Structure 1
Amino acid sequence: MGKKEALLILLIVAVLGNAIGIKEEEEEEWWREREEEKFGSKERFLMVDSKKVIETEAGEMRVMRGPISRILDKAMHIGFITMEPKSLFVPQYLDSTLILFVRRGDVKVGLIYKDELAERRMKGGDVFRIPAGSVFYMVNVGEGQRLEIICSIDKSESLSYGTFQSFFVAGGKYPGSVLAGFDQDTLATAFNVSYTELRRILSRQRQGPIVYISDTESPRVWSKFLQVKDKARLSKVADNNEDGEESEKNKRWSWRKLMNSIFRNENRDKSKKITRTGKSPDSYNLYDKTPDFSNAYGWSVALDETEYHPLGHSGIGVYLVNLTAGSMMAPHVNPTAAEYGIVLRGTGTIQIVYPNGTSAMNAEVTEGDVFWIPRYFPFCQIASRTGPFEFFGFTTSSRKNRPQFLAGASSIFHTLRNMEMATAFDITEDDMERLLGAQYEAIILPSAEIAPPHKEEEKKRRKEEERREAETETETEWERERERERERERRVDEVVGSFGRNLVMGFA
């Protein structure tokens, strides 16, 4: 290969390299612009896309759609379920895994777990996992109390492009049961009932996915449907071996147990209430857990797979934070997971920072608001001075989260305290020691000066700081000018002195 050809190839490579570099920069700029278009300049990390997916007289379910972003490692929706007293969320299975958190009230959750009916009676603060594809139901068993549940909706197993897809195993006209999609001959043969009985059962329900359970009207239709000709159905497996017969019997009877459990009288003797049946893992109560951190300014709780192993199947963690009025969770970074938060009580401020050190969001939030924090992005939460600030949420990792704090007595700067850090800030090591020694508290800090409501105070404070900075800058400039003047005088003196000495030497 000649020199000209080699030179031409090098030129082409250089041009292509520059083009690729420009393209990457353009893509980064395009991504940033799209992100800013998608989210408001001040509230881009708040989830505001809300959809009511269920609404009946007995309750509703609202879903906050998770953001679609390149900086988010796991897509997740947040669901809010409200059920009136003595109501039922009819049996169904979903194409998404749910992590339930009981915000308020008492609920009985039943689900098919390893071919058996498992029931759990849960109260406020309980966390429970319902796997995708598992048939479940929920009953509000609180006496005259509305049930409120917050849940994560994991889209990793979903078949749908929307929020999630329900497959109702029980229903009628509304909601429609998946049974109705089969041929009538097939269903009549499968259940060993007449066409008339089948049509009557599959056409009665019209109230929706969340319905009231009447105390006076027993569910005679379902009971009769489940009990019809049990002996005839069981006789069909008489020729099977004993193990096979037992297995098939358990599978069929698990469905019977499911329906009978839903519709049995809820006013039975209170002393005989069952809070646990079946093999399914128990729920876990966050309010009963000893705080992972606590001081005079608040407390925090984190739940991972080491303490509640069902979370490991979904790769999702749970946390709960309570800040006293005016306090703050110190600025920190989550190096292993993104974070979703739901404000349970009070008002506060969420501040998030871009990698380049500019503000990504500084927004006030109140009860019911949902926010998300990308992995690696520094952030902090600040409680209003009007009262406590409590928020609950999910993380996209079920492993133990080890946040790195950027301020406070346990910040990473205390670990990195050395000459290199002082040099990086362009300050002396004594200045670094004073900076780090000023804050005695760790993780949850007092922050009354910047706690909302603080808009007017913040404006005054900033104006005062700007005035002081301007005065300092003016004084500094004067001092620099005086120093320059002194330097000029010193040089003039040196020149004059040198000239005088030379003149005297010449005369001598």
Structure 2
Amino acid sequence: MAVLKKSTLLTLLFSVLVLTASLASATQDLELKQCRHQCRHQGGFDEEQRLQCEQRCEEYVRDKKQREREEREEGYTRRRSREDSEEEEERFEQNNPYVFQDEHFDTSVRTEEGRVHVLRKFTERSKLLKGIENYRVGFLEANPRAFVAPVHFDADVIFFVASGKPTITLLKEKKRETFNLQCGDVLHIPAGTPAYMVNRDDREKLFIVKLINPVSLPGEFEPFYGPGGENPESFYKAFSWEVLKAAFKRDRDEIERLFRQQKRGSITKASREQVEELSRHAESGGAAPIWPFKGETKGPFNLFHNHPVSSNRYGSLFEANPEECKELEDLDLIISFANITKGAMIAPYYNSKATKISFVVNGEGWFEMACPHISSEHGHRRGGGTWQGDKSGQSFQRVSGRLRRGVVFVAPAGHPVTAIASENSNLQILSFEVNGKGNTRYPLAGRKNIVNNMENVAKELAFGVPAREVERIFKSQNEEFFFPGPTQQEEGGRRAYI
């Protein structure tokens, strides 16, 4: 069946309304006729009383027609307004400079056994993100027992294991380091370090989220495949045959034959025996909960092995920061993982210094953020209204967007932000917070919000009301960081986001 255009649908809707009005009119004519009949046969009425009765019948039916016509027109206007609002919502979300979805990722690797997607440079979307233009975000997805070919990058890479059980090998200058990793493990691969891995899980796919910090060209990096063949092409083949023959002390035919064999791509299938061999001598990844603390040996650590920095029945927040971890201190980075219970929310808060790059690992929901940089003509408010703010002065616009697995969203330093899980599932968000050294997280609601720390006089001066009225609002929420979220009844426009 062909899809009807919006104009056709509106025409049909108008026709239905006209038909409904006609039927209503016929019903009302019958009602008027019956009312007049009762007036004429009412016992004890003289002629004048019968005329007055019939006049009241006419007035009643006329007023009823007017009310029903106004209700139909109001309903039609509301439907049109809702449709226009939803269209405007979609247009704004497509141009939202702080939200990145599937279409903003490029596929750098795709084989039968897996794929690698990399987000384009942040500044391609908006100059508002110039502060993080050197960072890139990507993810790797690989099948059970998939092998990822040796590669090095002209970039520092931090990755987080979201699912699967990778065994990864790093080829250091004088030794080989191999680790068996699991969900929650974080590993830093320094720029230039050759690495390869295999998913030793027989059933679960491997999913790794990566933060990439290029060291050669700002915001630009390349994978360099060495050991391997034609797909992907080995960088060895860029050298002349004279150089390769001298370097390997072998004939050209033998060298050429070696580099022609691998044609299956950079992500291939390994046998169970090969997986066992690759993981046999590996160290456990983030098994030791005492890491990451300064002074310990560098290596992977598990974000979930430390106690959450905040936890209640509405969610949990796990975090590793530069003050505790030497590896993160060198990178000036905070890594956090929020698991928001379905229907719950994170308290509105802001970071003092860190810009937060968030990747939705699982679940659905939405986020909202206050931003002073987006002009009001591009503003949009959930539910079909307009941006809040006085055009004559500073205006804080509300930026919002739908969240689902694979969506990236950015909260710059100083920007108040919150995230809300849908009623259907928990919302799990991994965040890389750059410029994390010395960062402070300021809660704007909940038991430890910033207003509760103000003197009463300051509260009265700031809000223009007695301090007790301020406290009635800011001290009513007893939970900390994770709260019950808005209900569907309270948030009428919510269905546009979930």
Q: Report the TM-score when normalising by structure 2.
A: 0.69
Corresponding residue number in structure 2 for 1:312: 329
Corresponding residue number in structure 1 for 2:473: 435
Counterpart residue type for residue 283 of structure 2: T
Hey, what's the Cα distance between the residues in 2 that align with 1:85 and 1:120?
17
| Residue in structure 1 matching 2:99, options 25, 29, 46 | 46
Hey, what's the Cα distance between the residues in 1 that align with 2:491 and 2:202?
38
Corresponding residue number in structure 1 for 2:368: 351
Query: Residues 44-99 of structure 1: CA distance to partner in whole angstroms, max 9, x if unpaired?
Result: 31013111111111211011224212454222221110112222221121111111
Q: What is the correspondence of 1:445-456 to structure 2 with a 5 Å cutoff?
A: 445-449=483-487, 454-455=492-493
Could you say what the CA RMSD is over the residues aligned between the two structures, in angstroms?
2.8
Q: Is residue 381 of structure 1 aligned with residue 419 of structure 2?
A: yes
CA drift at 1:396: 0.5
Counterpart residue type for residue 312 of structure 1: E
User: SS in structure 1 opposite 2:352?
Assistant: coil
Q: Is residue 98 of structure 1 aligned with residue 151 of structure 2?
A: no
| Residues 269/64 of structure 1: CA separation in 2 closer, same or farther (3 Å cut) | closer
CA drift at 1:370: 1.1
| Residues 338/193 of structure 1: CA separation in 2 closer, same or farther (3 Å cut) | same
Hey, what's the Cα distance between the residues in 2 that align with 1:399 and 1:160?
21
Hey, what's the Cα distance between the residues in 2 that align with 1:91 and 1:419?
64
CA drift at 1:376: 0.9
| Residue in structure 1 matching 2:243, options 186, 191, 196 | 186
CA drift at 1:450: 6.1
Hey, what's the Cα distance between the residues in 2 that align with 1:448 and 1:70?
30
2:146–2:199 Cα contact (<8 Å) kept: yes
Corresponding residue number in structure 2 for 1:423: 461
1:97–1:153 Cα contact (<8 Å) kept: yes
User: SS in structure 2 opposite 1:73?
Assistant: helix
Corresponding residue number in structure 2 for 1:56: 111
1:72–1:338 Cα contact (<8 Å) kept: no
Query: Residues 30-55 of structure 1: CA distance to partner in whole angstroms, max 9, x if unpaired?
Result: xxxxxxxx974873310131111111
CA drift at 1:112: 2.2
| Residue in structure 1 matching 2:268, options 206, 211, 218 | 211
| Residues 438/452 of structure 1: CA separation in 2 closer, same or farther (3 Å cut) | closer
| Residue in structure 2 matching 1:275, options 283, 287, 300 | 283
1:326–1:384 Cα contact (<8 Å) kept: yes
Question: What are the ranges of 5 or more consecutive residues in structure 2 without an aligned counterpart?
Answer: 1-90, 286-295, 373-393
1:284–1:308 Cα contact (<8 Å) kept: no
Q: What is the correspondence of 1:58-207 to structure 2 with a 5 Å cutoff?
A: 58-68=113-123, 69-75=127-133, 76-155=135-214, 157-159=215-217, 162=220, 164-207=221-264
Q: Report the TM-score when normalising by structure 1.
A: 0.67
Hey, what's the Cα distance between the residues in 2 that align with 1:71 and 1:268?
45
Corresponding residue number in structure 1 for 2:7: none
Corresponding residue number in structure 1 for 2:388: none
Hey, what's the Cα distance between the residues in 2 that align with 1:98 and 1:323?
27
2:443–2:450 Cα contact (<8 Å) kept: yes
1:42–1:361 Cα contact (<8 Å) kept: no
Hey, what's the Cα distance between the residues in 1 that align with 2:494 and 2:108?
41
| Residue in structure 2 matching 1:342, options 359, 373, 377 | 359
Hey, what's the Cα distance between the residues in 1 that align with 2:483 and 2:229?
55
CA drift at 1:273: 4.8
CA drift at 1:456: 7.0
Query: Residues 194-237 of structure 1: CA distance to partner in whole angstroms, max 9, x if unpaired?
Result: 22211111111212222223468xxxxxxxxxxxxxxxxxxxxx
Hey, what's the Cα distance between the residues in 2 that align with 1:70 and 1:369?
19
User: SS in structure 1 opposite 2:122?
Assistant: coil
Corresponding residue number in structure 1 for 2:429: 391
1:340–1:370 Cα contact (<8 Å) kept: yes
Identity %: 25
Counterpart residue type for residue 47 of structure 1: F
Q: What is the correspondence of 1:222-371 to structure 2 with a 5 Å cutoff?
A: 265-268=274-277, 273-275=281-283, 281-355=298-372, 356-371=394-409
Tell me the number of residue pairs that the alignment of Structure 1 and Structure 2 aligns: 370
Counterpart residue type for residue 202 of structure 1: F
1:118–1:280 Cα contact (<8 Å) kept: no
Corresponding residue number in structure 2 for 1:493: none
Structure having the higher Rg: 1
CA drift at 1:420: 2.2
CA drift at 1:179: 1.0
CA drift at 1:276: 5.4
CA drift at 1:338: 0.4
| Residues 40/109 of structure 1: CA separation in 2 closer, same or farther (3 Å cut) | same
